[in-house]
Amino acid sequence: MSNKKIKIAIAGLGFGAEFIPIYQKHPNAEMYAICQRTQSKLDEIGDAFGIVNRYTDYDEMLKDPEIDAVHINTPIPNHTEQSIAALKAGKHVACTVPMATTVEECQQIVELAKETGLSYMMMETVIYSREFLYVKEMYEKGELGRIQFLRASHQQEMAGWPGYWEGLPPMHYATHCVGPILALPKGEAEYVSCFGSGRIDENLIPIYGSPFAIETCHIKLKDSDLAAELTRSLFNTARQYRESFDVYGSKKSFEWTLIEHEDSVIHTGETPERVKIPDYAHLLPEEIAPFTTAGVYDSDDNQHLSFIQGAGHGGSHPHLVHEFLTALVNEREPYPNAVQSANITCVGILAHDSAMKGGEIIRLPDFTFK
Protein backbone atom coordinates (compact mmCIF):
# COMPACT_ATOMS: atom_id res chain seq x y z
CA MET A 1 0.00 0.00 0.00
CA SER A 2 1.19 3.52 -0.79
CA ASN A 3 2.21 5.66 2.17
CA LYS A 4 0.74 8.79 0.58
CA LYS A 5 -1.58 10.71 2.89
CA ILE A 6 -4.66 12.70 1.85
CA LYS A 7 -5.52 15.67 4.07
CA ILE A 8 -9.23 15.43 4.82
CA ALA A 9 -11.71 18.05 6.01
CA ILE A 10 -15.16 17.02 7.26
CA ALA A 11 -18.12 19.40 7.02
CA GLY A 12 -21.10 18.59 9.23
CA LEU A 13 -20.47 16.90 12.57
CA GLY A 14 -23.75 15.18 13.42
CA PHE A 15 -23.65 11.97 11.42
CA GLY A 16 -20.32 13.19 10.05
CA ALA A 17 -18.53 12.64 13.37
CA GLU A 18 -18.83 8.90 12.70
CA PHE A 19 -16.09 9.22 10.09
CA ILE A 20 -13.52 11.20 12.07
CA PRO A 21 -11.82 8.27 13.86
CA ILE A 22 -11.86 6.20 10.66
CA TYR A 23 -9.89 8.86 8.80
CA GLN A 24 -7.62 9.30 11.83
CA LYS A 25 -6.64 5.64 11.73
CA HIS A 26 -6.55 5.06 7.97
CA PRO A 27 -2.94 4.75 6.76
CA ASN A 28 -3.60 7.02 3.77
CA ALA A 29 -5.36 9.87 5.56
CA GLU A 30 -4.62 12.84 7.75
CA MET A 31 -7.77 13.99 9.54
CA TYR A 32 -6.87 17.64 9.09
CA ALA A 33 -9.90 19.91 9.66
CA ILE A 34 -13.53 19.98 10.73
CA CYS A 35 -16.35 22.43 10.01
CA GLN A 36 -19.54 23.03 11.99
CA ARG A 37 -21.65 26.18 12.17
CA THR A 38 -22.11 26.01 15.95
CA GLN A 39 -18.90 26.89 17.78
CA SER A 40 -19.77 24.89 20.92
CA LYS A 41 -20.44 21.72 18.89
CA LEU A 42 -17.30 22.34 16.82
CA ASP A 43 -15.15 22.61 19.93
CA GLU A 44 -16.81 19.63 21.60
CA ILE A 45 -15.97 17.38 18.66
CA GLY A 46 -12.58 18.99 18.04
CA ASP A 47 -11.55 18.50 21.66
CA ALA A 48 -12.85 14.93 21.76
CA PHE A 49 -10.80 13.90 18.73
CA GLY A 50 -7.84 16.24 19.10
CA ILE A 51 -8.40 18.15 15.86
CA VAL A 52 -6.65 21.53 15.76
CA ASN A 53 -8.02 23.05 12.53
CA ARG A 54 -11.62 24.11 13.12
CA TYR A 55 -13.98 26.24 11.04
CA THR A 56 -17.48 27.59 11.53
CA ASP A 57 -17.46 29.00 7.98
CA TYR A 58 -17.36 26.45 5.16
CA ASP A 59 -16.09 28.92 2.55
CA GLU A 60 -13.25 29.96 4.85
CA MET A 61 -12.26 26.34 5.29
CA LEU A 62 -12.06 25.87 1.52
CA LYS A 63 -9.43 28.63 1.37
CA ASP A 64 -7.02 26.44 3.36
CA PRO A 65 -4.48 25.23 0.77
CA GLU A 66 -3.48 22.26 2.93
CA ILE A 67 -6.83 20.50 2.43
CA ASP A 68 -6.87 17.87 -0.34
CA ALA A 69 -10.44 16.59 -0.01
CA VAL A 70 -13.69 17.49 1.70
CA HIS A 71 -16.18 14.98 3.06
CA ILE A 72 -19.61 16.64 3.18
CA ASN A 73 -22.14 15.42 5.76
CA THR A 74 -24.42 18.44 5.91
CA PRO A 75 -28.22 18.59 5.34
CA ILE A 76 -29.52 17.71 1.85
CA PRO A 77 -30.24 21.32 0.76
CA ASN A 78 -26.52 22.15 1.16
CA HIS A 79 -25.03 19.29 -0.87
CA THR A 80 -25.00 20.88 -4.32
CA GLU A 81 -23.69 24.29 -3.30
CA GLN A 82 -21.00 22.83 -1.05
CA SER A 83 -19.88 20.18 -3.56
CA ILE A 84 -19.58 22.80 -6.30
CA ALA A 85 -17.70 25.21 -4.02
CA ALA A 86 -15.24 22.48 -2.99
CA LEU A 87 -14.54 21.42 -6.58
CA LYS A 88 -14.03 25.05 -7.62
CA ALA A 89 -11.63 25.43 -4.69
CA GLY A 90 -9.56 22.52 -6.00
CA LYS A 91 -10.69 19.91 -3.47
CA HIS A 92 -11.76 16.34 -4.13
CA VAL A 93 -15.29 15.66 -2.82
CA ALA A 94 -16.96 12.85 -0.94
CA CYS A 95 -20.60 13.69 -0.23
CA THR A 96 -23.31 11.91 1.68
CA VAL A 97 -26.50 11.13 -0.25
CA PRO A 98 -28.16 12.39 -2.31
CA MET A 99 -25.77 14.07 -4.74
CA ALA A 100 -28.24 16.91 -5.42
CA THR A 101 -31.96 17.64 -5.62
CA THR A 102 -32.36 18.40 -9.34
CA VAL A 103 -31.13 16.91 -12.60
CA GLU A 104 -29.50 20.23 -13.49
CA GLU A 105 -27.52 20.30 -10.25
CA CYS A 106 -26.27 16.77 -10.87
CA GLN A 107 -25.10 17.80 -14.35
CA GLN A 108 -23.28 20.81 -12.91
CA ILE A 109 -21.29 18.61 -10.54
CA VAL A 110 -20.49 16.09 -13.29
CA GLU A 111 -19.22 18.83 -15.59
CA LEU A 112 -17.13 20.43 -12.83
CA ALA A 113 -15.52 17.10 -11.97
CA LYS A 114 -14.58 16.74 -15.63
CA GLU A 115 -13.30 20.31 -15.98
CA THR A 116 -11.20 20.21 -12.82
CA GLY A 117 -9.99 16.61 -13.08
CA LEU A 118 -10.97 16.17 -9.42
CA SER A 119 -12.73 13.16 -7.95
CA TYR A 120 -16.32 13.17 -6.73
CA MET A 121 -17.81 10.22 -4.84
CA MET A 122 -21.33 9.94 -3.44
CA MET A 123 -21.01 8.05 -0.16
CA GLU A 124 -23.87 5.59 -0.66
CA THR A 125 -23.83 3.29 2.37
CA VAL A 126 -25.81 0.31 1.05
CA ILE A 127 -23.37 -0.53 -1.76
CA TYR A 128 -20.62 -0.98 0.84
CA SER A 129 -22.78 -2.76 3.42
CA ARG A 130 -21.93 -6.32 4.46
CA GLU A 131 -25.14 -7.55 2.80
CA PHE A 132 -24.19 -6.03 -0.53
CA LEU A 133 -20.59 -7.23 -0.30
CA TYR A 134 -21.89 -10.74 0.43
CA VAL A 135 -24.16 -10.80 -2.64
CA LYS A 136 -21.47 -9.14 -4.78
CA GLU A 137 -19.01 -11.87 -3.79
CA MET A 138 -21.55 -14.56 -4.70
CA TYR A 139 -22.22 -12.91 -8.06
CA GLU A 140 -18.55 -12.50 -8.94
CA LYS A 141 -17.89 -16.15 -8.08
CA GLY A 142 -20.69 -17.16 -10.47
CA GLU A 143 -22.86 -18.61 -7.71
CA LEU A 144 -25.94 -16.58 -8.64
CA GLY A 145 -25.66 -17.44 -12.32
CA ARG A 146 -27.26 -14.92 -14.63
CA ILE A 147 -29.01 -12.03 -12.87
CA GLN A 148 -32.65 -12.06 -13.94
CA PHE A 149 -34.23 -9.30 -11.85
CA LEU A 150 -33.50 -6.95 -8.95
CA ARG A 151 -35.79 -5.39 -6.38
CA ALA A 152 -35.15 -2.95 -3.54
CA SER A 153 -37.08 -1.04 -0.91
CA HIS A 154 -36.46 1.67 1.63
CA GLN A 155 -39.32 2.23 4.04
CA GLN A 156 -38.82 4.60 6.92
CA GLU A 157 -40.99 6.81 9.13
CA MET A 158 -39.49 10.30 9.02
CA ALA A 159 -41.74 12.00 11.58
CA GLY A 160 -39.53 13.91 14.00
CA TRP A 161 -36.64 14.44 11.59
CA PRO A 162 -35.43 18.01 10.67
CA GLY A 163 -38.00 20.25 9.01
CA TYR A 164 -36.83 19.89 5.41
CA TRP A 165 -37.79 16.18 5.52
CA GLU A 166 -41.45 16.95 6.20
CA GLY A 167 -43.56 16.06 3.17
CA LEU A 168 -40.51 15.09 1.08
CA PRO A 169 -41.53 13.04 -1.99
CA PRO A 170 -40.49 9.43 -1.24
CA MET A 171 -38.35 9.05 -4.36
CA HIS A 172 -36.40 12.24 -3.67
CA TYR A 173 -34.37 10.23 -1.17
CA ALA A 174 -34.09 6.95 -3.03
CA THR A 175 -30.36 6.32 -3.37
CA HIS A 176 -30.30 3.63 -0.67
CA CYS A 177 -32.55 1.41 -2.79
CA VAL A 178 -31.40 2.59 -6.24
CA GLY A 179 -27.72 2.15 -5.39
CA PRO A 180 -27.56 -1.64 -4.90
CA ILE A 181 -29.66 -2.58 -7.91
CA LEU A 182 -27.43 -0.53 -10.22
CA ALA A 183 -24.14 -1.27 -8.47
CA LEU A 184 -24.37 -5.07 -8.51
CA PRO A 185 -24.48 -5.40 -12.32
CA LYS A 186 -22.48 -2.13 -12.61
CA GLY A 187 -25.42 -0.88 -14.66
CA GLU A 188 -26.89 2.45 -15.60
CA ALA A 189 -30.56 3.40 -15.53
CA GLU A 190 -31.94 4.25 -18.98
CA TYR A 191 -35.54 5.18 -18.15
CA VAL A 192 -38.07 4.97 -15.33
CA SER A 193 -41.81 4.67 -14.81
CA CYS A 194 -43.23 5.29 -11.35
CA PHE A 195 -46.62 5.33 -9.64
CA GLY A 196 -47.62 7.11 -6.47
CA SER A 197 -50.01 5.47 -4.06
CA GLY A 198 -51.91 6.51 -0.96
CA ARG A 199 -51.86 9.90 0.75
CA ILE A 200 -49.85 11.56 3.51
CA ASP A 201 -51.18 14.01 6.12
CA GLU A 202 -52.86 16.98 4.50
CA ASN A 203 -50.62 19.50 6.29
CA LEU A 204 -47.52 17.88 4.75
CA ILE A 205 -48.70 17.85 1.13
CA PRO A 206 -48.28 21.59 0.29
CA ILE A 207 -44.61 21.67 1.40
CA TYR A 208 -43.40 19.87 -1.74
CA GLY A 209 -46.71 19.48 -3.56
CA SER A 210 -46.43 15.69 -3.18
CA PRO A 211 -49.44 13.71 -1.89
CA PHE A 212 -48.09 10.15 -2.07
CA ALA A 213 -47.43 7.88 0.91
CA ILE A 214 -45.59 5.35 -1.27
CA GLU A 215 -43.92 5.57 -4.66
CA THR A 216 -42.95 2.45 -6.60
CA CYS A 217 -40.78 2.56 -9.69
CA HIS A 218 -39.60 0.31 -12.50
CA ILE A 219 -36.16 0.94 -13.96
CA LYS A 220 -34.90 -0.24 -17.34
CA LEU A 221 -31.15 -0.73 -17.32
CA LYS A 222 -29.23 0.63 -20.29
CA ASP A 223 -27.63 -1.83 -22.75
CA SER A 224 -29.02 -4.72 -20.70
CA ASP A 225 -31.94 -7.12 -20.60
CA LEU A 226 -32.41 -6.26 -16.91
CA ALA A 227 -35.19 -4.35 -15.23
CA ALA A 228 -35.54 -3.53 -11.55
CA GLU A 229 -38.26 -2.42 -9.18
CA LEU A 230 -38.02 -0.24 -6.10
CA THR A 231 -40.41 0.93 -3.39
CA ARG A 232 -40.03 3.96 -1.14
CA SER A 233 -42.07 5.42 1.72
CA LEU A 234 -41.44 8.19 4.25
CA PHE A 235 -44.71 9.02 6.03
CA ASN A 236 -48.00 7.50 7.16
CA THR A 237 -47.13 3.92 6.25
CA ALA A 238 -47.02 1.19 8.90
CA ARG A 239 -43.75 -0.70 8.45
CA GLN A 240 -40.64 -1.41 10.48
CA TYR A 241 -37.60 0.38 9.07
CA ARG A 242 -36.33 -1.53 6.05
CA GLU A 243 -33.45 -0.79 3.71
CA SER A 244 -33.40 -3.86 1.50
CA PHE A 245 -32.57 -5.40 -1.84
CA ASP A 246 -33.39 -8.76 -3.48
CA VAL A 247 -31.50 -10.35 -6.34
CA TYR A 248 -32.96 -13.13 -8.49
CA GLY A 249 -30.42 -15.25 -10.36
CA SER A 250 -30.65 -18.31 -12.60
CA LYS A 251 -28.82 -20.50 -10.04
CA LYS A 252 -29.40 -18.75 -6.71
CA SER A 253 -31.45 -15.83 -5.44
CA PHE A 254 -30.99 -13.60 -2.40
CA GLU A 255 -33.92 -12.16 -0.44
CA TRP A 256 -33.47 -9.65 2.36
CA THR A 257 -35.07 -10.55 5.67
CA LEU A 258 -38.57 -9.18 6.24
CA ILE A 259 -37.86 -8.40 9.90
CA GLU A 260 -34.78 -6.54 11.15
CA HIS A 261 -32.13 -8.73 12.80
CA GLU A 262 -33.52 -11.96 11.37
CA ASP A 263 -31.55 -13.90 8.78
CA SER A 264 -31.85 -13.33 5.04
CA VAL A 265 -32.66 -16.17 2.66
CA ILE A 266 -30.78 -17.82 -0.20
CA HIS A 267 -32.86 -19.84 -2.65
CA THR A 268 -30.92 -22.51 -4.53
CA GLY A 269 -33.32 -23.58 -7.22
CA GLU A 270 -36.52 -24.03 -5.19
CA THR A 271 -34.74 -24.79 -1.91
CA PRO A 272 -34.61 -21.95 0.65
CA GLU A 273 -31.96 -21.58 3.33
CA ARG A 274 -31.50 -18.88 5.96
CA VAL A 275 -27.99 -17.43 5.97
CA LYS A 276 -25.84 -15.49 8.42
CA ILE A 277 -24.30 -12.55 6.59
CA PRO A 278 -20.57 -12.41 7.37
CA ASP A 279 -18.67 -9.23 8.08
CA TYR A 280 -16.21 -8.00 5.47
CA ALA A 281 -13.65 -6.27 7.66
CA HIS A 282 -10.98 -8.50 6.12
CA LEU A 283 -11.16 -6.35 2.97
CA LEU A 284 -9.89 -3.34 4.92
CA PRO A 285 -6.56 -2.21 6.37
CA GLU A 286 -6.27 -3.63 9.87
CA GLU A 287 -6.20 -0.12 11.36
CA ILE A 288 -9.82 0.56 10.37
CA ALA A 289 -11.28 -2.97 10.28
CA PRO A 290 -12.89 -2.64 13.76
CA PHE A 291 -15.12 0.19 12.50
CA THR A 292 -17.38 -2.25 10.62
CA THR A 293 -18.88 -3.21 14.00
CA ALA A 294 -18.26 -0.20 16.26
CA GLY A 295 -18.31 3.55 15.85
CA VAL A 296 -18.92 6.89 17.50
CA TYR A 297 -22.68 6.44 17.94
CA ASP A 298 -22.90 3.02 19.54
CA SER A 299 -23.49 3.59 23.25
CA ASP A 300 -27.09 3.83 24.44
CA ASP A 301 -26.70 7.43 25.57
CA ASN A 302 -24.86 8.51 22.40
CA GLN A 303 -26.81 7.35 19.36
CA HIS A 304 -27.50 9.20 16.11
CA LEU A 305 -30.99 8.68 14.64
CA SER A 306 -29.56 7.88 11.20
CA PHE A 307 -27.34 5.21 12.72
CA ILE A 308 -30.09 3.67 14.87
CA GLN A 309 -32.66 3.40 12.07
CA GLY A 310 -30.02 2.47 9.53
CA ALA A 311 -28.92 -0.58 11.52
CA GLY A 312 -25.39 0.80 11.68
CA HIS A 313 -25.43 1.23 7.89
CA GLY A 314 -24.28 -2.36 7.43
CA GLY A 315 -20.72 -1.70 8.53
CA SER A 316 -20.21 0.42 5.41
CA HIS A 317 -18.44 3.50 6.80
CA PRO A 318 -14.84 2.22 6.78
CA HIS A 319 -15.39 0.66 3.34
CA LEU A 320 -16.59 4.02 1.99
CA VAL A 321 -13.57 5.81 3.44
CA HIS A 322 -11.20 3.17 2.10
CA GLU A 323 -12.69 3.34 -1.41
CA PHE A 324 -12.46 7.13 -1.50
CA LEU A 325 -8.89 7.28 -0.22
CA THR A 326 -7.49 4.43 -2.32
CA ALA A 327 -9.09 5.94 -5.44
CA LEU A 328 -7.30 9.23 -4.73
CA VAL A 329 -3.99 7.59 -3.87
CA ASN A 330 -4.06 5.35 -6.95
CA GLU A 331 -5.43 8.10 -9.21
CA ARG A 332 -8.45 6.09 -10.34
CA GLU A 333 -12.18 6.84 -10.29
CA PRO A 334 -14.01 5.91 -7.08
CA TYR A 335 -17.30 4.01 -7.22
CA PRO A 336 -19.69 5.68 -7.59
CA ASN A 337 -17.96 8.52 -9.41
CA ALA A 338 -19.69 11.74 -10.49
CA VAL A 339 -21.41 10.20 -13.54
CA GLN A 340 -22.57 7.11 -11.65
CA SER A 341 -23.71 9.20 -8.67
CA ALA A 342 -25.75 11.43 -10.97
CA ASN A 343 -27.44 8.44 -12.59
CA ILE A 344 -28.28 6.90 -9.21
CA THR A 345 -29.59 10.18 -7.80
CA CYS A 346 -31.65 11.12 -10.86
CA VAL A 347 -33.51 7.81 -10.87
CA GLY A 348 -35.29 9.06 -7.76
CA ILE A 349 -35.75 12.64 -8.95
CA LEU A 350 -37.25 11.56 -12.27
CA ALA A 351 -39.24 8.71 -10.72
CA HIS A 352 -41.15 11.26 -8.67
CA ASP A 353 -41.74 13.35 -11.80
CA SER A 354 -43.11 10.21 -13.44
CA ALA A 355 -45.42 9.54 -10.49
CA MET A 356 -46.79 13.08 -10.69
CA LYS A 357 -47.51 12.41 -14.39
CA GLY A 358 -49.37 9.15 -13.78
CA GLY A 359 -46.49 6.77 -14.51
CA GLU A 360 -45.17 8.40 -17.68
CA ILE A 361 -41.88 6.92 -18.94
CA ILE A 362 -39.03 9.38 -18.40
CA ARG A 363 -35.55 8.86 -19.79
CA LEU A 364 -32.47 9.75 -17.80
CA PRO A 365 -30.00 12.24 -19.24
CA ASP A 366 -26.70 11.00 -20.59
CA PHE A 367 -24.32 12.03 -17.82
CA THR A 368 -21.15 11.22 -19.70
CA PHE A 369 -18.47 13.87 -19.30
CA LYS A 370 -18.97 16.52 -21.98
Please check the confidence at residue 58 and state whether its pLDDT lies above 80: yes
Pairing assessment for the beta strands 214-221 and 362-363 based on DSSP bridges: unpaired
Distance (Å) of CA 186 to CA 151, 180, 324: 15, 9, 18
CA geometry: angle 22, 99, 285, nearest 5 deg: 20
Residue 306 has pLDDT above 60, yes or no: no
Across the chain, how many H-helices and E-strands are there?
Answer: 11, 15
- CB atoms under 10 Å from CB of 100, counted, come to 25
Highest mean pLDDT among 90-104, 295-309, 356-370: 90-104
Q: Kind of pairing, strands 252-255 and 214-221?
A: unpaired
Residue 249 confidence (pLDDT) above 90 = yes
Task: Report the pLDDT value the prediction gives residue 295, as an integer from 0 to 100.
Answer: 64
Short-list 72, 79, 86, 88, CA closest to 106:
79
81-93: average pLDDT: 98
Lowest-confidence region among 69-73, 100-104, 163-167? 163-167
Mean pLDDT of 3-15: 95
**pLDDT digits over 169-226, tens only?**
999 999 999 999 999 999 999 999 999 999 999 999 999 999 999 999 999 999 999 9
Q: Report percent pLDDT > 70 for the chain.
A: 94
Q: What is the mean pLDDT of residues 122-145?
A: 97
C-alpha–C-alpha distance, residues 235 and 28, integer Å: 41
Residue 303 · residue 297 · CB < 8 Å: yes
Q: Which pLDDT belongs to residue 312?
A: 63
Output the pLDDT for position 369.
52
pLDDT value at 298 more than 70: no
Average per-residue pLDDT for the chain: 93
pLDDT at 296: 62
113 confidence band (pLDDT: 50, 70, 90): very high
Using one digit for the tens of pLDDT, what is the confidence trace for 261-285? 899 999 999 999 999 999 999 999 9
Q: Omega before 169 cis (within 30°)? A: no
Give the contacts of 298 (CB within 8 A, at least 6 positions apart): none
pTM for the model: 0.94
**What are the two backbone dihedrals, phi and then psi, of residue 125, each rounded to the nearest 5 degrees?**
-65, -40
Whether residue 305 has pLDDT greater than 80: no
The DSSP symbol for 130 reads H
The sign of the torsion formed by the CA atoms of 18, 24, 25, 30 equals positive
